[in-house]
Structure 1
């Protein structure tokens, strides 16, 4: 199987440097027409310049590809919507969106200002929302779309001093879960990348000998698969240093506790059983958990259940 993007139009946010640049170059090398979006700000989101985006566009054109630069601030929906309209005016469609733009304002939660918390949420989470909203109707009308969110191990597992970043990066996973369900019948597949790479975001957080193994280009092949025609959906792909893995949010089988025993002491006494991972599974949607718990209660109490609202629809 050869993965190509001929006649596809892609938007990559935060594509002036690091991972976004690598993704944009990778898409263009396989035939995509690419909108290279970058506000050109500093790592903390201050300032702005179009130089980085234009430089990536020139790289793509020098290699024989097609690309345009765009300086939209992903935290501003009107600017993102205008970017999408420019792409459609030039190439007629938008097939791929990679939400990669991000900033860092790291501090311990005790020292972090709410302004710094909001700023990071606005770029990482609301920026992803804005991008998805701006392309959503186009992708629905086309009957085709591929969207990638960018999460992080900080969002999946936590990292000291990154409450704002971790909250935003966990938030995009929730966004993916819902958009996967809402976009499925329109041919829209939505996935999440959780990368770790040597970029300006990590240059002073990871020792140099480790950074030497963590080129952004080692991650891009995974992203290209996630936006390909044969892509999965609702997948969290973790990548770094040439290694790839999948994270799944799992739920244990659980335990039904009869009403007469439903006390905190019972939960404490049976917590190891409640938390036991044998038989754990990834649930397909929120109502799967509701149906599971209700079925457990009904079995324990000898109650016959009718069809759920979803099953009877």
Structure 2
């Protein structure tokens, strides 16, 4: 059990209320009970409907409540509380008897391998990394320290993964890039994909996401990149640090994505494009040209968000405009006939 004072110290917050209030857990605002703490993101909540033992709020929130912990960012504080009350527990310990580790592979200290994991020759796995059942680490692949790799992930040869990365189930990293050239008879001939995939520190790769190896150089994800489930990253791409990409997005080959770019779901990006730092791309946007400066982009083909909104406002009224034009044409013909 924690007291509210201990929770306040954990969050580096400012406490208003009873420091000895017991806090047994964390829950949503709607479901938190008399022994749980919740966070308040909005400023217009009704205190009478809240049953929580205490609330974590922004420092400028004017809400009146018996127990409050003021912090800079309530949502990040909520993440800290989740980690505190639900600490990560290893899924496996040691190396499972059914795992196959090549004699030339290198395992760091406290590496944990689940059932039927296969680690190829000259592969390297860093200290405190945990790999769950059914994963395949190809020869020469490198995985850093304190990584968590969920079940049935494939990490191909020539892949280098940094420290503190999370790779969710079914992801494939280092598969061949989609490179073909047609011969004189029009038959597509495979171009060998012999490059690498380099993934920085603190990256997270979603379930069933695929990151293709480059043709000869490297596909690179810089530090703190976060990919959702079912994202496709083509060969020779670079994803800048801090960028987040939502589910079902497809990035064609040789795209250079800047730092801190945010992509909604189902975005499609054509090949060999450059996306500037800090760009936000709305869901289902089709990017067909370079985006040279920071802004919010939407539509297919892509355009500035304000332009996209104006266009859709016009489209919503298109039937009315058409009817009015037809009526004007009719009146003009009647005038001309006189």
Q: Which has the higher contact order (CA 8 A, sep 6+)?
A: 1
Pairwise TM-score range, normalised by the shorter structure = under 0.3
Q: Larger Rg: 1 or 2? A: 2
TM-score (norm 1): 0.26
Higher helix proportion: 1
TM-score (norm 2): 0.24
